[in-house]
Amino acid sequence: MDPQTIAVINAGSSSLKFSLFEVTSSGPVRRIRGQISEINTAPVFSARIGSQTAAREQILGEAHAGHQRCLHYLLEWLGQHAQVHAAGHRVVHGGLAFSQPIVVDSAAIKALEGLIPLAPLHQPYNLEPIRALSRLYPGLMQVACFDTAFHATKRKEARRFPLPRALADAGIRRYGFHGLSYEYIAMKLKEVDPVLAQGRTVVAHLGNGASMCAIHGGKAVDSTMGLTAADGLPMGTRSGALDPGVLLFMARELNMSLETIEDVLYRQSGLKGISGLTHDMRLLEQSQHPGARDAIDVFVYRIQQQFGALCAVMGGIDGAVFTAGIGENSSLVRRQTLRGLGWLGFELDDTANAQHATRITTANSNIPAYVIPTDEDLMIAHHVQNILAV
């Protein structure tokens, strides 16, 4: 009998990432990984099959632009390569109702659509492939995995904004995101450092979207993100946490519309806004422009500040993990961050850090810091395989 296969789809506003996994007795094994980028303008399809080192690229062009058309292309392509037994989807918001992966039916789709106002820039795109697949393959099992779910273990005081109760009842709460990444790191940490996996860890997920999470014994204690993925650390183009008075000032004194404020908060701020150059950390590191230095300095400052906050809510810290594009690849950001955190017990090993080794602190360091590449798709595949096994 052919092995069972799981397709994992991670649909964003401008890209469609996917992986195909084979179910094995030791967990899902990735067979294909790929993406369609620039889906709104000039889509480019790329995929790496098996052990291929270079991805095969195909320019789809304007004729394929748009979510629906790209999805159809992807589903046909996947259908030519495997018979898919189940699909797993990354869904950014599970709201109050969904704190675990679920098998999707029409009632669930409706409930998830109801959460669009809580994540208007992510949720609609996440739901698109679920709807398309249920139309095309009504019998296919589809599992939705939520970025908010891992944070469901937070204490109730960590989940409340100090706002009137009626607003909390309306769903305005501190949920937290990047949960699939944190869950994967917590799982992987059991192999990398089983002692730390039982202890108190600050995980810094630093990509275009960036957040940090305090994890104790594999469970989330708190994180830097709240109601939306705009909170906490400065990001590629998002501001992160602001004085709420800033929003009022922009609206009242600067006469900025809601749409303009949203554009500023989500697309013009963060590394791009501070530097006045780019959101891309690689380019900032290479630039001699003073704005580039400022952007990196503010980013690192905020990360250090949040280390303090997240240590405090765990009553201490036993180690740290860096992950995602910047966390995995920027030795500069890691070095600058940990050099300011010697007081917590980190002693950086410069050589290990420059080589992106798994452990980047010295043997004498009081507590360890690790670089662990994240894999949200693999986490989703684990959830789907668990559900298939029931």
Residues that bind ligand ADP (rule: CB under 6 A) add up to a total of: 13
Q: How far is the CB of 332 from ligand ADP (least distance, A)?
A: 7
Residue nearest to ligand ADP (CB): 325
Q: How far is CA 144 from the centre of its chain?
A: 15
Query: What distance in Å separates the CA atoms of residue 194 and residue 207, rounded to the nearest whole number?
Result: 26
The continuous run of DSSP H or E covering 82 comes out as none
Map residues 303-322 to x or -, x wherever contact with ligand ADP holds by CB under 6 A. Answer: --------------------
In what order do the strands lie in the sheet containing 200-206?
A: 219-223, 210-216, 200-206, 319-323, 369-371
133 is a site residue for ligand ADP (CB under 6 A): no
Q: In this structure, are residues 140 and 82 in contact, taking their beta carbons and an 8 Å threshold? A: no
Map residues 183-202 to x or -, x wherever contact with ligand ADP holds by CB under 6 A. Answer: --------------------
329 is a site residue for ligand ADP (CB under 6 A): yes
Query: What distance in Å separates the CA atoms of residue 360 and residue 351, rounded to the nearest whole number?
Result: 8
281 is a site residue for ligand ADP (CB under 6 A): yes
Which one of residues 127, 326, 371, 380 is an interface residue with ligand ADP (CB under 6 A)?
326
The question of whether 294 is a catalytic residue gets the answer no
The catalytic residue among 147, 222, 318, 377 is: 147
Spell out the residues 6+ positions from residue 157 whose beta carbon is closer than 8 angstroms to its own. Answer: none
Q: How far is the CB of 307 from ligand ADP (least distance, A)?
A: 20
**Pairing mode of beta strands 141-146, 102-103:** antiparallel
Task: Look at residues 295, 365, 313 and name the one whose alpha carbon lies nearest to residue 176.
Answer: 313
330 is a site residue for ligand ADP (CB under 6 A): yes
Which one of residues 95, 207, 232, 368 is an interface residue with ligand ADP (CB under 6 A)?
207
355 is a site residue for ligand ADP (CB under 6 A): no
Q: How far is the CB of 137 from ligand ADP (least distance, A)?
A: 28
**DSSP class of 182:** H
219 is a site residue for ligand ADP (CB under 6 A): no
325 is a site residue for ligand ADP (CB under 6 A): yes
Residue 208 or 358: which CB sits closer to ligand ADP? 208
Stretch that binds ligand ADP, among 22-30, 277-285, 340-348, 380-388 (CB under 6 A): 277-285
Which one of residues 236, 270, 273, 319 is an interface residue with ligand ADP (CB under 6 A)?
236
Query: What distance in Å separates the CA atoms of residue 300 and residue 333, rounded to the nearest whole number?
Result: 7
Query: What distance in Å separates the CA atoms of residue 268 and residue 254, rounded to the nearest whole number?
Result: 16
Strand-pairing partners, residue 47, are 34, 56
Q: Which amino acid is at 268?
A: Q
Task: Look at residues 379, 359, 389 and name the one whose alpha carbon lies nearest to residue 100.
Answer: 379
Stretch that binds ligand ADP, among 18-26, 221-229, 280-288, 307-315 (CB under 6 A): 280-288
Q: Which of residues 15-54 bind ligand ADP (CB under 6 A)?
A: none
208 is a site residue for ligand ADP (CB under 6 A): yes
Which one of residues 56, 155, 219, 282 is an interface residue with ligand ADP (CB under 6 A)?
282
Which one of residues 38, 262, 263, 280 is an interface residue with ligand ADP (CB under 6 A)?
280
Query: What distance in Å separates the CA atoms of residue 130 and residue 143, rounded to the nearest whole number?
Result: 9
Query: What distance in Å separates the CA atoms of residue 260 and residue 240, rounded to the nearest whole number?
Result: 16
Query: What distance in Å separates the CA atoms of residue 143 and residue 127, rounded to the nearest whole number?
Result: 11
Both structure tokens of 10: 């991670």
Residue 201 or 330: which CB sits closer to ligand ADP? 330
155 is a site residue for ligand ADP (CB under 6 A): no
Task: Look at residues 245, 244, 251, 215 and name the one whose alpha carbon lies nearest to residue 230.
Answer: 244
Residue 88 or 236: which CB sits closer to ligand ADP? 236
Active site residues: 147
Residues in the site for ligand ADP, rule: CB under 6 A?
Answer: 207-209, 236, 280-282, 285, 324-326, 329-330
